[in-house]
Chains A and B, each alone.
Chain A
Amino acid sequence: MATVLGLYNYWIAIFLMMTGFYVVIAHGNLVKKIVGLNIFQVAVFILYISMGKVRGGSAPILAEGVTSYSNPLPHVLILTAIVVGVATTALGLALVIRINEAYGTVEEDDIHSQDEPE
């Protein structure tokens, strides 16, 4: 039980990941899909950030009397990943706008039915 609870950060990450994944798959609204994708990505960010934490460690700033630091590298890495995520979201939303212009809808089913007859 202790290990299950002790790994709570993983549980949160997995829960968020599955939520995001579900939204991406289940929702027909293109904007909602992107929201889902964001949740999915955030889950991974949390995973990274939490793994850099060293129990009892301080912020990674050199200071007198501090011997244990959290690992800063995952945080830096995830900063990059967040930027990538933002770019993806921006591009995705831009595409949704263009799709809305072209089809007059952002619902996947409507788009399909418009393309079918061709």
Chain B
Amino acid sequence: MQLGQHLPILQVVIPLLSAPLCLLLRNGRLAWMFTLAVSWLVLAGAVWLLLQVLAHGTVSYALGTWPAPWGIEYHLDHVSAFVLLIVSGISAVVLPFAGKSVAREIPADRVSLFYTLYLLCLTGLLGIVITGDAFNLFVFLEISALSSYALISQGRDRRALTASYHYLILGTIGATFILIGVGLLYMMTGTLNMQDLAARLPAVTDTRTVRTAFAFLVVGISLKLALFPLHLWLPNAYTYAPSVVTAFLAATATKVGVYVLLRFVFTIFGAAFAFQAMSLGPILLVLALLAIFNASTVAIFQDNLKRMLAYSSVAQIGYMVLGISFASLTGLTAGILHLFNHALMKGALFLALGAVFYQLGTVQLTQLRGLGRRMPWTMAAIVIGGLSLVGVPLTVGFISKWYLILAALESGWWPVAVLVLLGSLLAMVYIGRLVETAYFHAPPEDDREVREAPLSMLLPIWTLILANLYFGIDTSLTVGVARQAAALLLGVSP
């Protein structure tokens, strides 16, 4: 037996088993280092799996050697391997940053608990991506969700508690909807394996039960990925969560939500059913555009920067869903590409805000006056990340946007292309506000000595920023994989 053969399951088992071990390490610093090691191990596995998928196509693993569809199957294709890389990659970058940040934001006696939760959350996210079983997906969804509720509630502000509570209520409703959907599907087909479901569903698509299942699933998943107008849990949760949690969840959790949407809509139900029989396209299109404009506009008026970026996340999810709503090869490529690209930019931006919070103890816009000179590296990172968000050339944001407008033009919906571009102008406004405050205002009067963030924070931030630039120029990996993934989902050749 080779170890590589078991890698799909190890991706989940390693962080899962590490979580209780981490709990045993009462020392916060040890717990951090342990988590870091686990996360890097997982990243190495994810890279290996992606290469494996790129070289040999789909990787399948039968849990406990029970063959599918009876046993649970772990199924890795281009889509899941790519998202797996995003999740584990972001985690691997966020954790070095976490060391200092968590030590400051979380009471010392709770640090090892914090990392236990973090590992559980990671387990859940990885599990969602890797599993090929619809019910197993629900279980992982809840593992990640429950741990992220707990993680969010660790914020220092008491509003973190209410934010977490509301997220719990809405998240549970969403998960229950998904459970109903999965149940109805099982009722019609007698299977939970995704491939098997996909094979059996076409025979029964014309029933009301399947259509109901579809509706429940789409609504439930939309709640999880914070699609407008089901995004209400997100801004508060991201605002009051500890910096590290915000950065990690913003870059991964909603992405995984989008992945689940892709999986159900394209792999299980099939594009033909979803977009022709259920006319999902126009619905998603309108909601995505509303998300882009509504959330971007709200973001402009936020004084708390974390909240501003949280609304911006809602808008960016709009871009991803917009790409999906075209149901074309280019559109889907754009959507999947933006999963990756947005993870890079939001990860970097939230980490940079974490560094600001570490030094200033606040992320209120007015407190950032004159910060451009006092924390030059952090602020420069925010500027570049912001430009990426706007979609300026040589950043990943530009690549995403290019494919999105190509997709819109290809479909003949040029007004949508114009709207996408107008939407990015809104991003320019809220990033511009931030830049003006940091660079054009004198520092506030009660001038404490504010210094640049420590190196252990700057390195992760700049790793992501440089990735923003690198993948904005060399897109052979990202576009290549995204395109193959899109082709796979649509069942066409790339």
Knowing A37-B173, A41-B172 touch, does A102 contact B146 (C-beta < 8 A)? no
The answer on a CB contact under 8 Å between A37 and B172 is yes
Chain A min CB distance to B111 (Å) = 18
Residue of A whose beta carbon sits closest to that of B139: A80
- Among B135, B138, B168, point to the contact of A95 (Cβ < 8 A): B168
Interface SS of chain B: helix, strand, loop or mixed?
helix
Contact A95 B165 (CB under 8 A): yes
- Indicate whether A99 reaches chain B with its CB closer than 8 angstroms: yes
Cα–Cα distance between A48 and B135 once the two chains are bound (Å): 12
Q: List 14 A–B pairs whose Cβ atoms lie within 8 Å, in order of A's numbering.
A: A30-B165, A74-B186, A77-B135, A80-B139, A87-B142, A88-B146, A88-B172, A91-B146, A91-B149, A91-B150, A95-B149, A99-B158, A99-B161, A99-B165
Interface string of B207-243 (1 = CB under 8 A from A): 0000000000000000000000000000000000000
* B7, chain A: closest CB distance, angstroms: 25
Q: Does B179 count as interface, using CB distance less than 8 angstroms?
A: yes
Tell me whether A95 and B164 are in contact (CB under 8 A).
yes
Q: At the interface, yes or no: B187 with Cβ under 8 Å from chain A? A: yes
Contacts of B176 in A (CB 8 A): 40-41, 44
B153-166 interface bits toward A, Cβ cutoff 8 Å, 1 = contact, 0 = none: 10000110110110
Q: Does B142 contact A40, Cβ atoms closer than 8 Å?
A: no
Q: Which residues in B have their C-beta under 8 angstroms from that of A103?
A: 158
> B135 — which chain A residues lie within 8 A by C-beta?
77, 80
Q: Whole-angstrom distance from the CB of B63 to the nearest CB of chain A?
A: 14
Q: Is there contact, CB below 8 Å, between B183 and A24?
A: no
Given the complex, which residues of A lie within 8 Å of B59, measured CB to CB? none
A33 to B167 CA separation, bound complex (whole angstroms) = 13
The interface on chain A, measured as residues whose beta carbon lies within 8 A of the other chain's beta carbons, has a size of: 29
Q: List residues of B (356-372) whose CB comes within 8 Å of A's CBs.
A: none
Per the bound structure, the CA–CA distance linking A91 and B147 in Å amounts to 9
A95 and B183 in contact, given A40-B176, A84-B142, A87-B146 (Cβ under 8 angstroms): no
Are B165 and A44 closer than 8 Å at their CB atoms? no
A26 within 8 A of B: no
CA distance A92 to B150 in the complex (A): 9
Closest to A118 in B: B159
Tell me if A47 and B142 are in contact (CB < 8 A).
no
- Using Cβ atoms and an 8 Å threshold, which residues of chain A touch B165? 30, 92, 95-96, 99
Say whether, besides A51-B183, A74-B183, A87-B146, A102 and B169 are in contact (CB < 8 Å).
no
Least CB separation from B135: chain A residue: A77
Q: Do B168 and A92 have beta carbons less than 8 Å apart?
A: yes
CB of A19 to closest CB in B, whole Å: 14
Q: Do the beta carbons of B169 and A24 come within 8 Å of each other?
A: yes
**How far apart sit A81 and B134, CA to CA, in the bound complex (Å)?**
13
Q: How far is the CA of A42 from the CA of B138 in the complex (A)?
A: 16
User: In the complex, what residues of A have CB within 8 A of residue B158's CB?
Assistant: 99, 102-103
Q: Produce 1/0 per residue, B166-208, CB < 8 A to A.
A: 0011001101100110010011000010000000000000000
Residues of B within 8 A of A92 (CB): 165, 168-169, 172
Q: Note all chain B residues with C-beta closer than 8 A to A87.
A: 142, 146
Given A37-B169, A102-B161, A51 and B146 touching (CB < 8 A)?
A: no
- Min CB distance B110 to A, Å, is 13
Judge whether A18 is part of the interface by a CB distance below 8 angstroms. Answer: no
